[in-house]
Chains A and B, each alone.
Chain A
Amino acid sequence: MDSRIVWLLLGMSLVTYLPRVLPLVLFKNFQLPDLLLKWLGYIPTAILAALLLPSLLIRNGQLNIASHNEYLIAALPAFLVAKTSKSMVWTVLAGMGAVMLLRTIG
């Protein structure tokens, strides 16, 4: 293996691992303040929305809110199935099925 790639892998692994592990090691014996815990309670919702919205609305680097954005259209049945079935597997299958259908007919 190329030694350049070995160094690259080592460096990338280190700077990826540190933010993942440091809070769990450093703050382990602290009782985090209530306000911070409340704030952290909102983090999953916030991160999900922050990841999801651009992935639905930005296609090929540009804002796309038109009817030919199949992600945007497929999001509707996925939302409905999530609401009624409360199942991740069915939601994923419904979303993928909708995208597949839109690409077949479109």
Chain B
Amino acid sequence: MSTGLFIVGLKDALPIALGYLPLGFAFGLLGAEAGLKTLEIVLMSLFVYAGSAQFIAVSMLSSGASNMAIIIATFFVNFRHFLMSTALLPHFRNFSPRVIPLLAYELTDETFVVSTARYSHEPPHQSYHLGLSLTSHLGWISASWLGASTGSALISTEKWGLDFALPAMFIALLFFTLRNKRSYLVACLAGGFSLFAALYIPGNWGVLLAAILGATGGVISEKWIAE
């Protein structure tokens, strides 16, 4: 365990936690409106810890859906983590087998992209990964608790532009991964398809299919594009 690297991870998680604030707050608010108790909302953020699935669960609860329907929807929405987990495997090679199940539990889109962006130029370390993951999760839980317990807007997230924190973070991270012509091609393919899917394909498979298409395009293009 390296305290120094844990702190670096903690610092890298601050923009993530900032981005989770309006989202978690909104989730807590909607959960309370859907009739969930504050404890239930906090437990969902603790145990499920998957933003989009939690939003879907709350809206399905409000419309009277069955548990089974909500659980199946959750599975489909979160299946993209399967790809991310596989992509993290090479980075986790030297991590302790006892820590890996916890780090897997803490995997989100945001911690995945922040950590892989770092591991492209710095060696992976489990202390860094723990600091990053636990801080982000704590941010998510606190924000949902705030939303659930206030029940009405404490701060105007819209006025302060907080809702743009996550897209802005994705812009920074995407920019950091764009290293050569091939990566631009991958981004255009995946982004374009994802946009198309979001508009015309019902369900939540768009991001997963777009990622598969983009990465496959990148591998195929290695024949024609030198870099």
Chain A residues engaging chain B, CB cutoff 8 angstroms? 1-2, 4-5, 7-9, 11-13, 15-17, 19-25, 27-28, 32, 35, 37-58, 63, 70-71, 74-75, 78-79, 82-83, 86-89, 91-92, 94-100, 103
Contacts and interface: CB of A to CB of B under 8 A. Distances in A.
A32 B90 contact: yes
B57 interface: yes
A43 B168 contact: no
Give chain B's interface secondary structure class.
Answer: helix
Given A32-B89, A82-B172, A38 B210 contact: no
A48 B104 CA distance: 19
A49 B87 CA distance: 16
A86 B53 contact: no
B204 to A, nearest CB: 11
A50 B193 contact: yes
Interface string B170-210: 11111111100011001111111111001100000011001
Contacts, number: 267
A20 B169 contact: no
27 contacts: A2-B40, A11-B71, A12-B53, A12-B70, A13-B47, A15-B75, A16-B75, A19-B81, A24-B100, A25-B101, A38-B219, A40-B90, A43-B83, A44-B87, A45-B214, A49-B186, A50-B206, A53-B192, A70-B164, A75-B171, A92-B165, A92-B169, A95-B161, A95-B168, A95-B171, A99-B161, A103-B159
